[in-house]
């Protein structure tokens, strides 16, 4: 009976494994793409600190935090997909 369940769940396991792979690739690519703007925003933030322009520094701080939150949320989504894939494969 367990073999029949595994055969019936094979398409779900295959699709979830493919989704995990695509999400990992997308997360890695987005991390590389967002790394340069984050570095630029950080440098501009240091300059605004030096010039004591506090409102501009706050705007840059929020932008930096937004980029960080995007990468963090992407990692959470990939982790959730991996857990789902492991759960389905373990049935």
- What is the pLDDT at residue 5? 77
Phi/psi region, residue 52 (left: phi>0; alpha: psi -120 to 50; beta: rest), is: left
Cβ-contact 77, 19 below 8 angstroms: no
Better pLDDT: 65 or 1: 65
- What is the pLDDT at residue 18? 94
- What is the pLDDT at residue 1? 67
Better pLDDT: 45 or 6: 45
List pLDDT tens digits, range 7-18: 888 888 899 999
Region 21-30 average pLDDT: 93
- What is the pLDDT at residue 46? 96
Residue 59 sits at the vertex; the CA angle it makes with 56 and 61, to the nearest 5 degrees, is 110
Sorted by where each begins, the domain ranges of the chain are: 34-86
- What is the pLDDT at residue 20? 93
């Amino acid at each position: 009976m367990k073999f029949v369940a595994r055969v019936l769940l094979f398409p779900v396991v295959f699709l979830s494994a493919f989704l995990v792979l695509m999400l990992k690739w997308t997360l890695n690519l987005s991390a590389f793409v967002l790394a340069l703007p984050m570095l630029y925003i950080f440098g501009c933030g240091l300059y605004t600190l030096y010039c004591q322009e506090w409102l501009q520094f706050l705007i840059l701080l929020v932008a930096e935090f937004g980029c960080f939150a995007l990468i963090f949320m992407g990692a959470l989504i990939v982790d959730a997909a991996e857990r789902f894939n492991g759960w389905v494969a373990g049935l």
